[in-house]
């Protein structure tokens, strides 16, 4: 199964291109308009390169750079939890494991309480919404997100938000972090900052559900 990858990733200066917010898509990288159709098709189907594991020294250096931009930090937690699927959280995303842990915990709590206002606080704009059939819509205004909240954050998505945790995080260098095959992407808008939800991908969520092994009957 092809892993869903982001399409457009604005980069934040510093920390080797840590992320700025904004739109990440589902299953196809951005195409260069100058390329022909055949080249773009080959690019879409090409597998993602295998992530390079960050050395301990590189990880420590990334954390030091990120910590410089944080007024408060949890150094012990960050050191113990910086490693994720795909590489070091600090090197790949430009922020720390403790920032992700806090955000994911608050998203879980908001979803469990069906707290719409709290969920909206965790969204970065523009928000890329991909429906079950792969149709993409970029929501650029808070009013757009509010108006489509019930469509975007339906029961399947809320169920996902209620179970996300740091152990399920995969990072992609200079592109952000995702869960459940790209069902949700989070990025930061400044080095050391708070991750925000920038993509909800129901198509990927359906694929993730299909990929899970069936549970044996009791």
Judge whether 147 and 132 are in contact, CB under 8 Å.
no
Give me the pLDDT at residue 24, please. 34
Tens of pLDDT, residue by residue over 96-112, are 999 999 999 999 999 99
Domain assignment of residue 41, yes or no? no
DSSP 3-state of 158: helix
Question: Considering the chain, what percentage of its residues have pLDDT values greater than 70?
Answer: 71
Domain assignment of residue 69, yes or no? yes
8-state DSSP, 213: P
Judge whether 158 and 111 are in contact, CB under 8 Å.
yes
Domain assignment of residue 14, yes or no? no
Position with higher pLDDT, 20 vs 141: 141
Evaluated on CA atoms 43, 9, 103, 121, the torsion sign reads negative
Average pLDDT of 36-40? 41
* Calpha distance 29→6 (Å, rounded): 6
Q: How many domains does the chain have?
A: 1
Least confident of 52-56, 91-95, 128-132, 168-172: 52-56
Residue 43 in this model has a pLDDT that exceeds 60: no
Domain assignment of residue 96, yes or no? yes
| Structural domain of 109 | 55-209
Domain assignment of residue 38, yes or no? no
Residue 167 in this model has a pLDDT that exceeds 60: yes
Stated pTM of the model: 0.74
Per the listing, tokens 């250096």 go with 61
Question: Phi-psi bin for 176: left (phi > 0), alpha (psi -120 to 50), beta?
Answer: left
Please name the residue ranges forming H helices in the chain: 37-45, 56-67, 75-81, 89-93, 97-112, 116-121, 142-147, 149-152, 155-161, 202-211
Domain assignment of residue 151, yes or no? yes
Tens of pLDDT, residue by residue over 129-163, are 999 999 999 999 999 999 999 999 999 999 999 99
């Amino acid at each position: 199964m092809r892993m869903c990858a982001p399409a457009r990733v604005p980069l934040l200066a510093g920390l080797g291109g840590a992320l700025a917010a904004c739109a990440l898509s589902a299953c196809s990288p951005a195409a260069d308009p100058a390329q022909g159709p055949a080249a773009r098709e080959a690019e879409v189907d090409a597998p993602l390169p295998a992530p390079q594991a960050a050395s301990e020294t590189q990880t420590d250096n990334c954390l030091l750079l990120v910590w410089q931009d944080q007024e408060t930090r949890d150094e012990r937690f960050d050191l113990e939890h910086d490693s994720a699927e795909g590489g070091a959280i600090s090197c790949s995303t430009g922020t720390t494991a403790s920032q992700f842990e806090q955000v994911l915990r608050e998203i879980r709590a908001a979803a469990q309480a069906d707290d719409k206002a709290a969920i909206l606080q965790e969204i970065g704009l523009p928000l890329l919404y991909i429906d079950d059939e792969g149709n993409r819509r970029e929501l650029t205004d808070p009013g757009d997100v509010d108006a489509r909240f019930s469509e975007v954050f339906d029961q399947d998505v809320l169920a996902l938000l209620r179970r996300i945790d740091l152990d399920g995080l995969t990072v992609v260098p200079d592109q952000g972090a995702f869960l459940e095959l790209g069902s949700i992407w989070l990025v930061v808008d400044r080095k050391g900052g708070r991750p925000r939800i920038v993509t909800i991908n129901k198509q990927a969520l359906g694929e993730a559900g299909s990929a899970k092994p069936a549970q044996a009957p009791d």
